[in-house]
A and B are shown apart, each in its own frame.
Chain A
Amino acid sequence: MSEYLQDREKQIVTKGKDAHDVEGGKPSLSGSVSQRACVFCGSRVVLYPIADAVHLVHGPIGCASYTWDIRGALSSGPELHRSSFSTDLREKHVVFGGETQLYQSLVELIDKYQPKAAFVYSTCIVGVIGDDVQSVCKRVAEEKSIPVIPVMSEGFQGSKKDGYKIACDALAALIGTDESLDVSSMSINILGDFNLAGELWILEEYYKKMDIQILAPITGDGRVKNIQNAHRAALNVVQCSGSMMHLAKYMKETYGIPFIKVSYFGIEDMSDALYEVAKFFKNEVVMDKARELVKDQLKNLLPALEPYKTALTGKKAAIYVGGAFKAISLVKALRLIGVKPVIVGTQTGNTDDYRLLKTICDDGCILVDDSNPIELSEFVKQTGADLFIGGVKERPIAYKLGIGFCDHNHERKMALAGYEGMLNFAKEVYETVSSPVWQFVHRTSSEKN
């Protein structure tokens, strides 16, 4: 008992009370009700939005079923990514091997759908039964003359974060294999935006106004050809650094493409993302356009935010999200509308991330790594949070506790990026926090405690 609790102590810090750092990146102890997922999950979510490729899950049916169209990554054209393809491995394959099943499935799939590329995901048992996925992919690639890319994402190899890295390797295999697109001298790749609720399209509008070309969005509204050409961009702009830093570093080493880290969430970060790109191109006209754009946007946004800020000032929020970068942006964005973060936690943050989070949070704020439902509900009770920001598994817990909730994960329904996103976010926070339903949780005020 004490060992577990001592271990957890290192992963929980209250600012202003505890001197030590949050120890991030530790594997979850067996038996914990972790909110974390696996390697396959990480790879699958990163590559999922590539809409003109087929994504074949090699394994028993579950891994394909659970990842079937659960991410609201929108496409402006093909919708191949929204179907579920599986080799549906059965007992006989486990005994005799699944390579023939994989080969046959791939051929049937490519003949049927004529995709621009195929991604083949290895799941847990594929490694154990010894299927040579790479050679099957190679053979089919030659026969069908399209890229067939193995994603070696056996779930047990680590956490979701390790899966991001493997997805980056798969993308690296595509990058540099085509040179047919027109590329402007001021071109960027957007790394780590997944076009949830159409967020990429908002960014596209902004950069277009600055005469910047987005060569390859990776992977939101992603297309194989653009990714193949991505090595020809002048700059990589990386959001959601957890998932895409590996690729950015690879492209820097291999193709000499520099990268900058940005966030599109909140006024400050969004504006920085535009300015940083303008600065990179050392072009005064572009910088002026960026300033113009920001000024223009803020002229409308700031007054529009005011009523929400007035209504929300003094409210307290709990944040539990996947990556630390998102948590940092959320802290800033919440401040902007008068909401005070009192709990900030992540699934995949590292010790440095938590150090940074600690500097931007107020005293009394609880910082936590790899938390679980019991802890989270206990922290909500302790801090009196009015709002929870998290993902699918946290939503019903927040509601049971009688507080508001915003999905800042795959199931967001409104774009949260950019200036319109900030206004949407304020609306969403206001809507959920001020919902009349919370007044009725306790029939009388005496029941409250």
Chain B
Amino acid sequence: MLLRHTTAKEVDRKALTVNPAKTCQPVGAMYAALGLHGCLPHSHGSQGCCAYHRSALTRHFKEPVVASTSSFSEGSSVFGGSANLLTAIETIFTVYEPDVIAVHTTCLSETIGDDLNQIVSKAKEDGKIPDGKRVIYCNTPSYVGSHITGYSNQVAAFIKFFSTATPKKRNVINLIAGWMEPSDMRELKRIAKVMETRTILFPDMSGVMDSPLTGKYDIYPKGGTTVDEMIATGDSKFSIGMGMYCTQDACIKLENKCKVKFEVMEIPIGLKATDQFIMSLSRHGNVPVPDSITDERGRLLDLIADNSKYFYDKRVALFGDPDTLIPLVEFLLTLDMKPVYIVTGTPGKHFDEAMTEMLKDRVPEAKFRSGEGADLFRLHQWIKQEGVDLLIGNSYGKYIARDENVPFVRFGFPVVDRPGSNSFPHVGYVGAINWVTKLLDVILDHQDRTCAEEKVELVM
């Protein structure tokens, strides 16, 4: 047993984190920055940060991830990293020629107090930023929030540096994507197209973090929201933010800066969240919901009805990020399952409130926790106290799944041991159909493998 030390009995822990359900801000900023076309993320800190973030993203997406680093040394930690960043800006525009450098900080550069605003202004004064090129930045101290916070800060920085209001509003809706897969972004764009709405999706990692094999390597792949589109978001008439944690900040900033009204909703995972998204898009885009979308919904319902008996009352444990866990828990309830244990390392009240709201009547025995002390060790202890029928989470769930012999669906970041996260959407009605088949596959495979021989059924 890989986790043989985990016991059912919970001993109060005041300080120690074991097997975290989160990681640090900068990797989120790096991921979000990759969703801007022609952008090179830059890590202002030690070399290791950048190497780790690139490796973490590469392991998950199986894609090249290019990002640069200020390569802090002992001297930078004493005298500040200003000289490093100035050199870096010059080197990057010379050698890697991006349109945009998106600088994010790290725990080290934050602790020593580097002022990015000042450093970037100096770079501009010194003529280190070529005409038409840009350097944007955001603060992502690793000791605040989580990777989700870093993502949010980077998206908010896009607004700060790009979004511009001209006197002319356009009949366009901004779709602000929370942390999701490139396959999800592709699906959102498809839905927008089918609904004949004009939208700007940002950040957009489709075509960047799922680029095709062509025999050529391009450090700035075809995809990503363009700088022009990003600027134009200030003229859009409405923003839909998907995921409170990842996009609320950006929505508010855009409203303050360019008077673009907004609505923050859950990432459209599952039936209810997708309904909400489609209705919002229809209302603000002033378009009817086309039959083809209604048919997708109907096919989803049909699939759920066909299989509802296999979902009923199944106990589920989940871990991951709040913006995806909230709609996913709602969807599990739609399927008549029982989400009993839910853990996210990302701190924040909205998660706790949303869980309380969803679960207090329907699964009163459910346990959930966010922020400090919300780690996989605790989740495992809960599972040991009373078992579950299904576990949903990133690849680090595999130890628990194996030790407890629980069916396991991989979802979240990082998934490093199975393909698919990138190939199939999790959002929209089509994404929900994928969810239903994925969940059923592991549950029924488990049943087929473990039930008594005489109970093996052919027709299910």
* CB of A88 within 8 Å of the partner chain: yes
Inter-chain CA distance A129–B112, complex, in Å, is: 9
Inter-chain CA distance A90–B143, complex, in Å, is: 4
Inter-chain CA distance A157–B265, complex, in Å, is: 44
Residues A62-116 near B (CB distance < 8 A)? 62-70, 79-80, 82-91, 93-94, 100-102, 104-105, 108-109, 112-113
Partner of B42, one of A31, A102, A160: A31
Residues B367-393 near A (CB distance < 8 A)? 372, 377
Inter-chain CA distance A124–B55, complex, in Å, is: 19
* CB of A27 within 8 Å of the partner chain: yes
> In the assembled complex, how far is the CB of residue A70 from the closest CB belonging to chain B, in whole angstroms?
8
Partner of B213, one of A108, A109, A399: A399
- Whether B77 and A38, one on each chain, are in contact in the complex, defined by CB atoms closer than 8 angstroms, is no
- Whether A1 and B94, one on each chain, are in contact in the complex, defined by CB atoms closer than 8 angstroms, is yes
Inter-chain CA distance A39–B49, complex, in Å, is: 11
Residues B344-360 near A (CB distance < 8 A)? 345
* CB of B451 within 8 Å of the partner chain: no
- Binary contact track A23-58/B, C-beta < 8 Å → 1, others 0: 000011111111111111100000000000000000
- Whether B74 and A156, one on each chain, are in contact in the complex, defined by CB atoms closer than 8 angstroms, is yes
> In the assembled complex, how far is the CB of residue B415 from the closest CB belonging to chain A, in whole angstroms?
14
Nearest A-chain residue to B65, judged by Cβ: A393
- Whether A128 and B17, one on each chain, are in contact in the complex, defined by CB atoms closer than 8 angstroms, is no
* CB of A159 within 8 Å of the partner chain: yes
Q: Which residues of A contact B71 (CB under 8 A)?
A: 27-32, 34
- Whether A35 and B143, one on each chain, are in contact in the complex, defined by CB atoms closer than 8 angstroms, is no
Nearest A-chain residue to B416, judged by Cβ: A70
* CB of A59 within 8 Å of the partner chain: yes
Nearest A-chain residue to B85, judged by Cβ: A30
- Whether B15 and A31, one on each chain, are in contact in the complex, defined by CB atoms closer than 8 angstroms, is no
- Binary contact track A413-429/B, C-beta < 8 Å → 1, others 0: 00000000000000000
- Whether A127 and B14, one on each chain, are in contact in the complex, defined by CB atoms closer than 8 angstroms, is no
Count the A residues whose beta carbon is within 8 Å of the partner chain — how many?
A: 80
- Binary contact track B53-74/A, C-beta < 8 Å → 1, others 0: 1111011001111111111111
- Whether A88 and B17, one on each chain, are in contact in the complex, defined by CB atoms closer than 8 angstroms, is yes
Partner of B47, one of A36, A67, A68: A36
Known contacts A31-B88, A66-B56, A400-B64: does B108 contact A156 (CB below 8 Å)? yes
* CB of A61 within 8 Å of the partner chain: yes
Inter-chain CA distance A1–B85, complex, in Å, is: 16
- Whether A32 and B68, one on each chain, are in contact in the complex, defined by CB atoms closer than 8 angstroms, is yes
- Whether A33 and B66, one on each chain, are in contact in the complex, defined by CB atoms closer than 8 angstroms, is yes
- Whether B69 and A30, one on each chain, are in contact in the complex, defined by CB atoms closer than 8 angstroms, is yes
Residues A122-172 near B (CB distance < 8 A)? 123-125, 127-129, 154-160
> In the assembled complex, how far is the CB of residue A440 from the closest CB belonging to chain B, in whole angstroms?
9
* CB of B45 within 8 Å of the partner chain: yes
Q: Which residues of B contact A154 (CB under 8 A)?
A: 77
> In the assembled complex, how far is the CB of residue A125 from the closest CB belonging to chain B, in whole angstroms?
5
* CB of A396 within 8 Å of the partner chain: yes
Partner of B92, one of A31, A65, A91, A100: A31
- Whether B20 and A38, one on each chain, are in contact in the complex, defined by CB atoms closer than 8 angstroms, is no
- Whether B217 and A104, one on each chain, are in contact in the complex, defined by CB atoms closer than 8 angstroms, is no
Identify the interface centre among B2, B22, B77, B144: most chain A CB within 10 Å of its CB: B77
Please choose the segment from B3-11, B335-343, B427-435 that sits at the chain A interface, where 4 or more of its residues have CB less than 8 A away: B3-11
* CB of A442 within 8 Å of the partner chain: yes
- Whether B68 and A33, one on each chain, are in contact in the complex, defined by CB atoms closer than 8 angstroms, is yes
- Binary contact track B31-52/A, C-beta < 8 Å → 1, others 0: 0000000001010011111111
Inter-chain CA distance A86–B15, complex, in Å, is: 9
Nearest B-chain residue to A102, judged by Cβ: B15
* CB of A181 within 8 Å of the partner chain: no
Nearest A-chain residue to B221, judged by Cβ: A400
Identify the interface centre among A28, A62, A109: most chain B CB within 10 Å of its CB: A62
Partner of A29, one of B72, B91, B107, B345: B91
- Whether B11 and A112, one on each chain, are in contact in the complex, defined by CB atoms closer than 8 angstroms, is yes
Q: Which residues of B contact A93 (CB under 8 A)?
A: 143
* CB of B418 within 8 Å of the partner chain: no
- Whether B5 and A112, one on each chain, are in contact in the complex, defined by CB atoms closer than 8 angstroms, is yes
Count the B residues whose beta carbon is within 8 Å of the partner chain — how many?
A: 84
Nearest A-chain residue to B86, judged by Cβ: A30
Inter-chain CA distance A441–B215, complex, in Å, is: 6
* CB of A364 within 8 Å of the partner chain: no
* CB of A176 within 8 Å of the partner chain: no
* CB of B459 within 8 Å of the partner chain: no
- Whether A155 and B111, one on each chain, are in contact in the complex, defined by CB atoms closer than 8 angstroms, is no
Q: Which residues of A contact B65 (CB under 8 A)?
A: 393
Inter-chain CA distance A402–B212, complex, in Å, is: 11
Inter-chain CA distance A279–B128, complex, in Å, is: 61
- Whether B216 and A61, one on each chain, are in contact in the complex, defined by CB atoms closer than 8 angstroms, is no
Inter-chain CA distance A46–B229, complex, in Å, is: 47
Nearest B-chain residue to A401, judged by Cβ: B217
Q: Which residues of A contact B142 (CB under 8 A)?
A: 59-62
* CB of A377 within 8 Å of the partner chain: yes
> In the assembled complex, how far is the CB of residue B63 from the closest CB belonging to chain A, in whole angstroms?
5
- Whether A124 and B46, one on each chain, are in contact in the complex, defined by CB atoms closer than 8 angstroms, is yes
- Whether B396 and A68, one on each chain, are in contact in the complex, defined by CB atoms closer than 8 angstroms, is yes
* CB of B95 within 8 Å of the partner chain: yes
* CB of A19 within 8 Å of the partner chain: no
Q: Which residues of A contact B95 (CB under 8 A)?
A: 1, 4, 31-32, 374
Partner of A393, one of B4, B54, B146, B214: B54
Inter-chain CA distance A341–B408, complex, in Å, is: 43
- Whether A125 and B46, one on each chain, are in contact in the complex, defined by CB atoms closer than 8 angstroms, is no
- Binary contact track B162-186/A, C-beta < 8 Å → 1, others 0: 0000000000000000000000000
- Whether B52 and A41, one on each chain, are in contact in the complex, defined by CB atoms closer than 8 angstroms, is yes
Residues A1-31 near B (CB distance < 8 A)? 1, 4, 27-31
Inter-chain CA distance A125–B265, complex, in Å, is: 36
Known contacts A401-B215, A441-B214: does B112 contact A128 (CB below 8 Å)? yes
> In the assembled complex, how far is the CB of residue B209 from the closest CB belonging to chain A, in whole angstroms?
10
Of the A-B pairs whose beta carbons lie under 8 Å apart in the complex, a sample of 29, sorted by A's number, is A30-B83, A30-B88, A31-B92, A32-B68, A33-B40, A33-B66, A33-B96, A34-B71, A38-B47, A59-B142, A60-B141, A82-B2, A83-B377, A85-B16, A86-B16, A86-B17, A94-B107, A94-B143, A124-B45, A124-B77, A127-B77, A155-B72, A157-B73, A377-B217, A393-B55, A395-B62, A397-B64, A400-B64, A402-B213
10 shortest A-B CB distances, which residue pairs? A38-B48, A62-B24, A31-B88, A31-B91, A104-B15, A155-B46, A60-B142, A65-B23, A66-B52, A37-B51
Q: A34-B71, A37-B51, A59-B107 given. 15 additional CB < 8 A pairs?
A: A28-B47, A30-B70, A30-B91, A31-B87, A59-B142, A66-B23, A66-B53, A79-B2, A108-B11, A108-B16, A124-B46, A157-B73, A373-B64, A397-B64, A448-B215
Tell me the A residues contacting B by CB distance below 8 Å: 1, 4, 27-41, 59-70, 79-80, 82-91, 93-94, 100-102, 104-105, 108-109, 112-113, 123-125, 127-129, 154-160, 373-374, 377, 392-393, 395-397, 399-402, 441-442, 448
